Chain A
Amino acid sequence: MSCLHSISRSPSHRLVDTCASLLRPGDAIIFIEDGCFHCLQVSLIKQVDIKLYYLEADMQARGLGASNINGAKSEIVDYDRFVDLCCEHDKLVNWF
């Protein structure tokens, strides 16, 4: 039973710390809206088997791109892929 977690607020809200402590193998996180600023953080998530996604439109709007992403295993996705991700996971858990 995998969860896709969405984080929509900036790192100063510290949502990632709480979210990360509740992750299970196979879960993934997508950063949307102000959550995209997390890409600048180094070693964001310690667990190795958690995939990280950033929503392209929200990244673009904020002047962020692939070159700004400091962590590995990250991928920038468009809206269609976001929808696919929602369907590939059993449920969505929103952090805002």
Chain B
Amino acid sequence: MAEPTSITFISRCAPYGQHKPKLCMDMALAAAVFEQHVSYIFLEDGVFQLLRGQDAGAIHSKTLGNALETLELYGIDKVYVDRESLSRRNLKREDLIIEVEILDRIAIANLLAEADSVFNL
């Protein structure tokens, strides 16, 4: 098999309003299955995907927060959240459903620079 590439995914949308968060997640999981080096960044409204206590059964959807827990099972352990996006939305680490590394914008810009390719959804 070809050399694995590093792929960075940026998820920028709130859950449930549109399909982009789910698509982004599915792409990342698929890439991880094929043993690519995946990093996952939650930016802007994407941080809303991480809120605790989601129950999408109420709107007849699948709860995205539960799916986030599968990231680790697929070997995606490089999960990052933008500090500024959290603070602008009055969110703290304790509000988040999974363990993540909180980064500032400069660190995220460096992640993008290092990646072989970037998916921005």
Contacts and interface: CB of A to CB of B under 8 A. Distances in A.
Chain A complexes with chain B:
yes
Interface of A: 1-3, 18, 21-24, 91, 93-95
B120 A94 contact: yes
A22 B114 contact: no
A1 B109 CA distance: 11
Interface string B6-21: 0000001000000000
Contact of B113 (A1, A21, A95): A1
A22 B44 contact: no
A89 to B, nearest CB: 11
Nearest to A2: B113
B109 A24 contact: yes
A93 B118 CA distance: 6
B99 interface: no
B115 interface: yes
Given A24-B113, A93-B112, 7 more contacts: A1-B113, A18-B43, A22-B109, A24-B110, A91-B117, A91-B118, A93-B118
B118 A1 contact: no
A21 B105 contact: yes
Given A93-B120, A94-B120, A22 B115 contact: no
